[in-house]
Amino acid sequence: MYCFLRLSVLLVGLIASAGSYAVNAVQPLTTADDLGPKVEQPIEFPHDRHAGDAAKGGMQINCMYCHTYARRSIVAGIPPLQKCIGCHQSIESVRETPRIKKLFEYWEAKKAVPWKKVHDLPDFVRFNHERHIQRFVFAQNKPVQEACGYCHGDVKTMTVARRQKPLSMGWCVSCHQKDHPVDATSTKTTHGPNDCWQCHK
């Protein structure tokens, strides 16, 4: 009896593994397939309006103005609601639009907006925003939107953010194996760490 059971479980496992491996094997690093699902957010936050080019009606706000924790902490964090209100209480022109009205409803109720996570790595992966921002933006003087865009894509053209890259381990490693200049002026190059425990700790 149990031999039969053992065999069947083994077979199911093997089929599952072969199947999923086949799906993954054909997947190149960046294709349209890497687009994450559309995530419905409580407020459809327009990244394009805030960070987009002026020519396209954007405000060209620096990413780090709102995502202020990215350069100081392992998580980028969602800005506190008071940050949104800080500007929007003085922007009369959009005060009565549906999204801003909803924003003020949350503010007046002193309730946090229940945002959904768009880029959610598994719990066994520790990705450090601070290290990446400090290296690319502050040491190498890369434009902020380019540095953030390595992983998050061209957010300034989106409304609600959507995952653009696979964020798989292979994809992370493909970048960590490339040589980068140490800082903006140096000719010396280095690459990202490839030790397991850098991310899995």
Partner 1 sequence: MIENSFNRRDFLKVLGWGGATVALSGCGNTSVEDGKEFVTSYVQTADYIIPSIGTYFNSTCAQCDAGCGIMGRVREGRVLKLEGNPKSSINNGKMCGLGQAGVQAHYNPDRIREPLLRNGDKGEAITWEKALGLINEKVGGVKAENVAFLTGGVSGHVKALLKNYLDALGSGHHYVYEAVAPSIMRAANKKAYGIEMPRLRLDKAKVIVSFGADFLGAWISPVHFSQQYARFRKADNGERGVLVQVESKMTLTGANADRWLAIRPGTEGILALGLINSLAAAGLSVPGDVAAAVKDYTADRVSKDTGVSNEHIGKLAALLKERSPSLIIAGSAAEGYAHGSQNATAIALLNQVLGNVGKTVEAPSGVPFPQMAPTPGNRFALQALNDNMAQDKVKVLFSYGANPVFTAPASMKLKENLKKVPFKVVFAHYMDETAVEADLVLPLDSALEDWATAMPEYIAEGAQLSIQQPLMEKLYPGTLGMGDILLALLKQRRPDEYKGYEDFYSYLRSAMVSNKGALGGANEDDDTFWDTALSRGVVKLVGTPVNISSNASAKGLVVPAPFVEDSAYPLHLIPAVSASLRDGRNANEPWLQESPDPLTTIVWDSWVEMHPKTAAKLGIVEGDIVEVASKSGAIKAQVYVFTGIHPDVISVPLGYGHEAMGRYAKGIGVNAFKILDPVFDKETGELAMHETRVKVTKAGQRVIIVKDEGPAGGNQMGRKIAVRMSSSKVNLSEEV
Residues 111-134, buried b or exposed e (16+ Cβ, 10 A)?
A: eebeeeebbeeeeeeebebeebbe
Which structure tokens are listed for 152?
């998050």
By C-beta, is 59 or 161 nearer to partner 1? 161
Contact partners, residue 49, CB within 8 Å, separation at least 6: 57, 58, 59, 159
In the three-class reduction of DSSP (H, G, I as helix; E, B as strand; rest coil), residue 77 is classed as coil
Q: Shortest approach of partner 1 to residue 16 CB, angstroms?
A: 6
Q: Which is nearer to partner 1, 94 or 169 (CB)?
A: 169
Q: What are phi and psi of 123, to 5 degrees?
A: -65, -15
Compare residues 96 and 123 and give the one whose CB is closer to partner 1.
123
Strand partners, 191: 179
Cα-based distances in Å from 12 to 1, 3, 22, 23, 156? 17, 14, 15, 17, 45
Smallest separation (angstroms) from partner 1 to the CB of 176: 16
* Min CB(79)–partner 1 separation in Å: 6
Shortest distance, CB of residue 145 to partner 1, whole angstroms? 21
Q: Please, which residue, 61 or 106, has the CB nearer to partner 1?
A: 106
- Please report how close the Cβ of residue 84 comes to partner 1 at its closest, in angstroms: 9
Instruction: In whole angstroms, give the CA distance from residue 13 to residue 8.
Output: 9
Q: Who contacts 188 (Cβ-Cβ below 8 Å, separation ≥6)? A: 181, 182
> Taking the complex as a whole, how short is the minimal distance between the CB of residue 131 and partner 1, in angstroms?
13
CB atoms within 10 A of CB 140: 16
Q: Which residues bind partner 1 (CB under 8 A)?
A: 1-2, 5-6, 9-10, 12-14, 16-21, 24-25, 36-40, 69, 72-75, 77-82, 106-107, 110-122, 163, 166-171
Nearer to partner 1, 50 or 163 (CB): 163
The residue among 24 and 89 lying less far from partner 1, judged by its C-beta, is 24
